[in-house]
Structure 1
């Protein structure tokens, strides 16, 4: 009973945090029909500032750490990102009226990482005085890129199979009215549908969110940014995050209408998925905790990035990589349900669990 009591107390404490309060406030304001709006340029600047700060923290942490400590958590991050996509492929995609491309894209977005959710988790960890490895934020790309690549590859394989079935069931007729039995497979579109991995990785790396994070990592690793970090990035972090949470709350309420268009299975997946994914990553993190002394705060970060769903770099990558998928399905599920669940439920649950385990 003591463990469950500590877990519940920690969870309720996190729900009272200003970070979650601003998220809920944004949802309420939008639901009441307010015309309050944050300019898009300001939103992009806030995201850039937050991810630069996270990247600088991670870069400085890597510079001052033993790289062997990072290896196992990084491998677990890669494995979790890939596993999340396969879970979605064989759960959500099997539901009635769920188009397979839409389900795979949704799983890919939930396997990818939200920089804003990560920033919220770091703020709450610091507020609660829970220590974590400064380099733990650098686990972001290790989960994000493999998830997006896996989703686009699976969608490409599915499309290729569908093209092959279509060809076998409906023989292609050439201009003269004959079949294509002797024609090259390129005319049939069934063997040259190979998915190219590098363009997917390149597009992910060039995305605004990951670019900002990686830039911060490199600068933190190769330069000495402590003075600008302490005087500029660190003091602004919490305030900027509160504004971002307000924007995300309003965006979540706006996306609810889109989510209604694609059915209840996406809503169910978006509610259950973040928690299930987070617990899988938390389990991996605990293995790293006992094997390499990975901190409980680091375990929370690994669980939170697994519970998050990409809100910045993921959507454009998936739009380009899986053009046949319906953005209302995967973006609506992520923004309207997945992100609020990750921030309002997953973060408090995993912080509370870490506090309970830490005694």
Structure 2
């Protein structure tokens, strides 16, 4: 079989990259060994324009959030699936001073588009004391990444564009005109295999800074039902059927995928500070995110072998980063545009 691109990995990065290339009229073949503990399947999948302890506007917010909504909405329609869930995020304040500060910030153009409401101190919020008030943020929500990956995998299988075999780099042949792997030939191969790229002879030089993350699955006691995403110190994400995901943790030393009692206790403790109602832990998951040294993705062509490419390192904000930069990279590969310097791997020379 001859295609335009071979893609290694069908996590978030590989799925979005494949779809953007196909929208451009290119053919793809994807290799992916299913793993329930890959970072894409463990992630909460939240997209949020106001992030961090200091609540700042995320990098390239206008560009990213202007693009991700139509991308996921259109992909849902194409796949006849439901995995994109816009949902407001409520971020409670931790002091009166913070509330006062945001009374002014809310009117600033860089924040106005993303703030639905400045909530006054003491305003009732389900399951929360809400002493100091908070921000109800707009243009937020989550992607059920596991569901998206499953339906896209079935789509690729139906098109005979998918193999579940483990990609073995030793079997890759680089030719003058492209690459060959087994009986599949292509103009280029794109590595979208997350943390596994650290072991590549070609892209192992990239300064990944992988980080293990853990999530809890909980149920709230009684008849309490929270519809918004609560986020301060920890997020509590309603995913239906009275179930919530709670996360996340960060561990740069222990890079296995085994859930730990330590992080279970840490997350439960942070959740108890966020809400004021009892909860039951019903599950726990862990995965390793392909984060990078400068918190920017790795996108571009290998410096010696232009037949090899990488679209990786999306980290904790992959849901918002992937659509925009996959489209940009697809455009670059077809000669239409350049790659944003902050994500181009040329920055690492």
**Fold similarity call, TM over 0.5:** no
TM-score normalised by structure 1 residue count: 0.26
Structure with greater helix percent: 1
* Higher-RCO chain (CA-CA 8 Å, sequence separation at least 6): 1
Structure with greater strand percent: 2
